[in-house]
Structure 1
Amino acid sequence: MAKPELTKLLIAQTLKQLMTHNPLDKISVRDIVEACGINRKTFYYHFHDKQALICWIFDSEFASLTDSNPDNTVIDDLVEHLYENKDFYIAALTSDVQNNLREHLFKIAYDIIMMKIASIIGAREMAFGDMHMIANYFTNAAIGCITQWAKEGMKTPPDEYDFLFYPMTEECLEFVIEKYFKK
């Protein structure tokens, strides 16, 4: 592994370690660099801010999820992953700072849902504005549910909480799109 990647991993592991003792919003970049034994310039060379680090951690883990599972259960696998790492993700998802993980997850889920809409539409044509509105609606629902679950402490395991987002979303999307074409 290249040195920049090792440095990023060190910074990420340090943040996760600090989060076992302190709330995310109470951890500063200074705390992270002191615990890592690096200087602030090194941190800022790799990450714009603490939230960029959080998103990098998520993206690294999310990439391994999507690489190992290219089928339609990515959102369900994502929720399972959040639950398995709940201490970290509860803190990350309930943080109200700018550029937080919720916003980042929204962009990812929106793209997944837009791809699904395009797949359902097939050769038919739908105005982009209509596609956007439908994707926005379903993305807000999914991320809202995940965020609420995090705010409640992720006490209920995904399988008991009926976290079958993708099948439920897919069925509802198909219904809405078919309704759109019937009008």
Structure 2
Amino acid sequence: MLKSAKEVLAESLKKMLEKKTLKSITVKDLVKDCGISRQAFYYHFNDIFELVEWIFVEEASKALADNRNIDNWQQGYCHVLKNMRDNKALVVNVYRSISREYLETFMYKVLHDVIYPVVEEQSAGMNVDVKHKEFIAHFYSLAVVAMGLDWVRGGMKEEPEDIAEQVAILVKGDFKKALRIYAK
């Protein structure tokens, strides 16, 4: 299967991050490494950070494909963590180079997109304001992101399955409990 220019650039960046920091990689280095023109790079991305974001979005989309309900959201979270570990050089470089805030924002968006549908599903048959459902999803998204960032900061030593299971134990039944309290 032929790879797209975006995929080739992504592979090249990941490979370069094994030896260099994100701050020290230029578009010139990247295109030279993968044999794609600067013009082709700028056709797809405005800068290297946009390429990083594209990589994160692509990887997260694959990891979360069908994991957006109460029975399998934990698997989605585990897949995200595994993917982060598989791309450790990229994740650690982003965490250290761009700032924790960039990684936190990305993780929040990805995880909120998994958690909100779970909250919505759990609210079936209840009369709960959207603002309360949003608050529940926001709260748990922040908590799950914090656990993921702590894992990155600690060197990604724990198994993703263990972290996902521990988080699932803590939130099991909590969505419904909170929704019942907010129900009119």
Common fold by TM > 0.5 = yes
Query: Residue by residue, what CA displacement relative to the aligned partner does 1:11-67 show, whole Å, maximum 9, x if unpaired?
Result: 011101110101223323232123223332211211232222122223333333334
Match of 2:164 in 1: 163
CA contact 2:14–2:87 (8 Å) conserved in 1:
no
Match of 1:43 in 2: 41
Gaps of 5+ in 1: none
SS at match of 2:98: coil
CA contact 1:94–1:151 (8 Å) conserved in 2:
no
Match of 2:138 in 1: 136
Gaps of 5+ in 2: none
Which amino acid in the other structure matches residue 136 of structure 1?
Answer: H
CA contact 1:116–1:170 (8 Å) conserved in 2:
no
Decide which moves more: 64-73 or 28-37. 64-73
**Count of aligned positions:** 179
Name the CA distance, whole Å, in 1 between partners of 2:47 and 2:101.
Answer: 9
CA contact 2:67–2:114 (8 Å) conserved in 1:
no
Match of 2:7 in 1: 9
Name the CA distance, whole Å, in 1 between partners of 2:143 and 2:137.
Answer: 10
Match of 1:28 in 2: 26
Q: 1:125 to 1:26 in 2, by over 3 A?
A: farther
Query: Residue by residue, what CA displacement relative to the aligned partner does 1:72-123 show, whole Å, maximum 9, x if unpaired?
Result: 3211222122223323322234443598343222112112111111111102
TM-score (norm 1): 0.81
